[in-house]
Amino acid sequence: MRTFYHSLKRKSGMLLSLLLLACLWSGVAKAQSITVRGTVQDQASEPIIGANIVIKGSTQGTITNFDGNFSLQIPSGTETLMVSYIGYLSQEVEVNNQTQFNIILEEDMEQLEEVVVVGYGTAKEKDLTSPIATVNADDITAMSSTSPMQSIQGKVPGVTITNSGAPGEGPTVRIRGVGSLQNSDPLYVVDGMFVDDINFLNPNDIESMSILKDASAAAIYGVRAANGVVLITTKGGKKGTKMRVSYDGYYGVQKVTQRLKMANSEQYANVMNASNNADYAAVIQKSIDMYGGENGIPAVSTDWYDVLLRDSAPIQSHNIGLNGGTEKATYSFGVSYFDQEGMMDATGMYKRLGLRGKADFDVSDNLKIGMSMNLTNEQRQVDDGNAWFNAYTNSPIYPVMDNSLSDDRAYPVKFANPHDLGFSTYYTNPAAVAYYRGDDISKATRFLPTIYAELRPFSAKDIVFRSAMNMDFRFNRSRKYTPEYIAGDNIQQINLLDKSHTWNSNYVWDNTVTWYNTLGEHNLNVMAGFSARQQQWYTLRGTAQGTTLPDYIDGADAATTTAYDDGERFHGLSAFTRVSYDYKERYLLSLTMRADGSSKYQQTWGYFPSIGAGWIISDEPFMADVADKGVSFLKLRASWGRLGNDHVTHNDGFATVSSGGLDDSGIFGDAILVPGMINQTNYTDLKWEVVEELNFGLDSRFLNDRLSFEADYFIRDTKNLVIRTTLPNGNGTLLQNTGSVRNSGLELVMNWSDQIGTDFSYSVGGNFTKLHNEVTSLADQPYIMTGSAEFPQRSEVGSPIYSFYGWKTDGVYQNQAEIDADPIAVANGLKPGDFRYVDTNGDGVLDNDDRQLLGDYQPDFTYGLNMNLQYKGWSLAAAFQGVGGVTIFNRRRADINKHGLNNLDANLAENLWSGEGSTNAYPSAEGLFNTWNNGKFNDFFLEDASYFRIQNVRLAYSLPKSALDKLRMSAAQIYVNADRPYTFFNTNGFTPEVIDGVDQSVYPIPAVFSLGANLTF
């Protein structure tokens, strides 16, 4: 695929004056310069825009304009011009005193083929035998995002991304499902360095992203690759290009466009008064007595979400880049600044300042060296997430402020409190929570340097030795300060300070040798390597009370000062190889093997092989007639591989020590024991989890590549699953490698692009993923319980991980006759308006045995859609995405089983059962506070979190050449952007995106409306 720079600027070259030594009898003369002009075209006589014309052996040159024309002043006597453009073979043009040139560049067929970054190398897209998704820089920067992974939500099949609205918070990424109860995060490789996330990375610094989704593609990374691998290549310079300065930035506002509507004071009072609870009615009356009201309705009606939420919050990003290259060296440098304010009207914010650099040098024809670096400095002020939960649970019947309160009820700020109305200390003014507990600041400095050398020792240059040292240094500082305050009965009598410093120092040293060989129609590429790595961290933490300054422990009460430190260090060694072979560029085979040694486990070494095969059917002679009828490319793929997951605990266990009682005495008891000795030891030697995956794929293009279609079916088994098992005789639990889980699914991608005339082009596309998650083995255990005792989740064989587990409702009892006809209702003294539950086992008794699986938060399917229209200088792009088959737990509603005075969302307040036939889904107001209805974890508190979202709409205008010439610019684009302007969903919350399936204190995800510009000089 051709890559166009779209460079629009036409420059004249610099005038050089050369002083020449003449003969003694002729003196000194001033040389003349000449102007050469010409056109650069391709083999179809189409102009090439942005081709480089440089005087050989210098950096003096120019680029072609929109019509492929150029003009350049050169010194008299110049012999050769170098003409180059990406995707074409470079050409040397002899001047020979000519001033007019018509240059035809030939396509470089190898470069024109899409090149994909794979582990420890690159490969042509047509030669791949495994599913590797590529994301280009434009897709990554299309949205106003904190993290690069946020931008690709809905764009890559098989990759599920769940976002957060908190400033600086990165998304949760799952590649082909959840395969571990410990950690399912993918591995990220940034310019060769292993990192756990890329939230620190500026999206604008990325040149390309490759996602290794299956085990065959990722096996080259062995024990770190079980959850998928994301390869990041940062921006670099291009050979033979003039220095270019670019600016890319935007300023925008964030708005919560879909707020959760809460019950007002009238609705709240009506529910409480209808509950038949005298204590609840007394609280309503107390509000009327203190703050006014009439007819049993308090005058105060506070919407706590409205109090906490800002109308809008700014977000901005600015990037300046410097890129270029000669025939011997390339360089790219950049500086970036990102600033995001939080949507909570408190102190939340995130700021990031970044520096990056990359340079490559051809020291000789055989030796190349290079370096890259990425330095970021982050600062984040974290809002107290409990404020969001408090905003739901707190009643609307008291105000935000009450200046009539004395200092012993409100200090130093006169926040009103619910306790004076009769509420317990469980309830706290949400504004006070945000104000007093919001001074939580974290700072981080991160430095990722890489240096490498590449040697081609033989003249044939078919063998390449490469050595690269990749490093990652992090220094994190956090400080949380809680001042003295009084908020009713909630009193902080002395200030608290919690500080910590954490150092991380990691490195990966890779050494590879690659051999390329072509013998007739056989092509062979063999890579072998050795890698050493180290991960270490150290933390120091201190807490104190009564500090004199909010940033320093010094001066605090010594009796309350504590200190804590901890750290770990792990080493690893690896040997790996990959063999890629093809015959006639039609029959493809790929083999990899990695042996990983680790100090983390007792089992020191693990071995991770893979194999992939492909058949390019469209290149077969028997397909010639079909190709003429529209089949441009058709390939079948199959692959298998094994991966490891070392993101699990490295050991687990405990020892039971005798208490020293009489029964443990060798004198008075039966056992021959010494008090204090260990009499029971339970330890396990954990090892990494292992993933085995089988993948079948199809790649196809039709109608001169205008239509493309890809399909993949995979079966992904996690073995040696680390689960917590119960020891015999109830002697505790222990983590062991005794389970297995399967993720299987289908991924589809279809795209269409076309050009109509010379001015209009368009493209549309979509992707779809169907995913099934199933626990296949838990050793001798029938299930594993997680979550909490009152709101359990259960993983059992044959069902998805982390399924919600409780009672299933079967409507609401509508009248007394229905009560009398049901022995369960009679036995439990139920009333009309109470839930009817399913008697699962049919024994006429409702108990724990009637509980069942009620759904899980992993989506059954995900999808994404995109379109792009271009007309002359205008472009309009839109992206959509959604998920289906997702169940989440509305923890806010369920909290009413503990605290009856909680507020309700308006949907609940407006739809409570009020008489026969009014509803068959909601309980009555009285029933809402009955433990029969709220004390049993049931499907009333679970919600379908399927959604469809308008992900992004972008309108852009690129300035024409006439304007660019006047501004002395190469390119300029101005755009307006709308990110997540609207989401269609049915859950009772701010967003259906909930990371762990429990909606309690979820930060609202805002829409972003921005104005930006991309400028190149």
Buried b / exposed e over 433-450, threshold 16 CB at 10 Å, is bbbbbbbbbbebebebbb
Q: Which of 132, 130, 214, 226 is nearest to 179 (CA)?
A: 226
> 808, 838 in Cβ contact below 8 A?
yes
Q: Residue 151 is inside which H or E element, if any?
A: helix 148-151
Partnered with residue 868 across adjacent β-strands are 763, 877
> When comparing pLDDT for 336 and 384, which is higher?
336
Identity of the residue numbered 685:
D
- Percentage of the chain lying above the pLDDT 70 cut: 92
CA distance 115 to 2: 11
pLDDT band at 648 (very low <50, low <70, confident <90, very high): confident
pLDDT at 87 over 90: no
pLDDT band at 653 (very low <50, low <70, confident <90, very high): low
Cβ partners under 8 Å of residue 44, min gap 6: none
**DSSP states of 679-734 as a string?**
EEEEEE----EEEEEEEEEEEEEETTTTEEEEEEEEEEEEEEEEEEEEPGGG--EE
210-239 pLDDT, tens per residue? 999 999 999 999 988 999 999 999 999 988
Degrees, nearest 5: CA angle 651-657-658: 160
278-291 helix and 265-273 helix, angle to the nearest 10 degrees: 150
Region 879-895: mean pLDDT is: 95
Kind of pairing, strands 91-94 and 80-84? antiparallel
232 vs 35, 195, 408, CA distance in Å? Answer: 43, 11, 57
Cβ partners under 8 Å of residue 745, min gap 6: 158, 176, 177, 713, 714, 769, 770, 771, 772
> 592, 607 in Cβ contact below 8 A?
no
**pLDDT (0 to 100) of residue 455:** 94
> 50, 6 in Cβ contact below 8 A?
yes
Q: Which of 740, 850, 718 is nearest to 784 (CA)?
A: 740
Region 928-950: mean pLDDT is: 94
CA distance 410 to 412: 6
pLDDT at 267 over 90: yes
CA distance 900 to 835: 18
Degrees, nearest 5: CA angle 453-455-458: 175
Q: What is the 3-state secondary structure (H, E, C) of 225-259?
A: CCCCEEEEEECCCCCCEEEEEEEEEEEEEEECCCC
- Percentage of the chain lying above the pLDDT 90 cut: 66
Q: What is the 3-state secondary structure (H, E, C) of 895-940?
A: HHHCCCCCCCEHHHHHHCECCCCCCCCCCEHHHHCCHHHHCCCEHH
Q: Which of 859, 799, 718, 776 is nearest to 157 (CA)?
A: 859
Q: Residue 952 is inside which H or E element, if any?
A: strand 947-958
**pLDDT (0 to 100) of residue 353:** 97
**pLDDT (0 to 100) of residue 736:** 84
Partnered with residue 638 across adjacent β-strands are 613, 696
pLDDT at 110 over 70: no
Verify cis geometry, omega within 30 degrees of 0, for the bond prior to 412.
yes
pLDDT band at 5 (very low <50, low <70, confident <90, very high): very low
Which stretches does DSSP call E strand in 256-381?
293-294, 297-298, 313-325, 329-341, 349-362, 367-381
DSSP state of 791: S
Q: Which of 149, 184, 188, 154 is nearest to 170 (CA)?
A: 149
DSSP state of 807: B
> When comparing pLDDT for 61 and 177, which is higher?
177
**pLDDT (0 to 100) of residue 681:** 61
pLDDT band at 31 (very low <50, low <70, confident <90, very high): very low
CA distance 353 to 333: 14
Region 105-116: mean pLDDT is: 70
> When comparing pLDDT for 18 and 1012, which is higher?
1012
Collapsing DSSP states into helix, strand and coil, what is residue 358?
A: strand
Classify residue 519 by burial, with Cβ atoms within 10 Å: 0-12, 13-18, 19+: exposed
Classify residue 829 by burial, with Cβ atoms within 10 Å: 0-12, 13-18, 19+: exposed
pLDDT band at 557 (very low <50, low <70, confident <90, very high): confident
pLDDT at 931 over 50: yes
Phi, psi angle pair for 861, to nearest 5°: -155, 155
Partnered with residue 697 across adjacent β-strands are 637, 712
Average pLDDT, the chain: 88
Q: Is 909 left (phi over 0), alpha (psi -120 to 50) or beta?
A: alpha
